[in-house]
Amino acid sequence: MICKITRNAAKIIKKELDKEENKQLKVRVLVTHAHGDHAHYGMDLDTPQENDEVVTTDKDIDVILDPSEPLLDGVKIDYLYFPEEGFVITNPSKGNHGDH
């Protein structure tokens, strides 16, 4: 499975993972809702479970993905400052370029 993290997102995520209470956690990306040919994604800090796949990104951040969910393969985590500040998760490889 593949997961990309932009430079902006990596900066924010690393700041959170560096907190003492989060030292043992990894980023989890999940599908919160799927309909048609696209999904809406969520993100949390978690520990890997038995059937999870842990993917190391090019930003040296480990991401937990559920290998049984095909809409997670190829997700991209970005952090935008405009028009609203926050994380945006899409999957360009599946034709999902953002929420509607």
Query: Is 8 within the bounds of a domain?
Result: yes
What percent of the chain is predicted at pLDDT more than 70?
95
The predicted model gives 11-18 an average pLDDT of 97
User: What is the domain-level CATH number for residue 21?
Assistant: 2.60.300.12
**Residue-range definition of the domain harbouring residue 64:** 3-94
Predicted TM-score of the model (pTM):
0.91
Q: What is the model's pLDDT at position 97?
A: 56
Q: What are phi and psi of 47, to 5 degrees?
A: -110, 145
Burial of 28 (0-12, 13-18, 19+ CB in 10 A): buried
Contact criterion met (CB below 8 Å) for 48 and 54: yes
What tens digit of pLDDT does each residue of 73-92 get? 999 999 999 989 999 999 98
Query: Is 61 within the bounds of a domain?
Result: yes
What tens digit of pLDDT does each residue of 15-29 get? 999 999 999 999 999
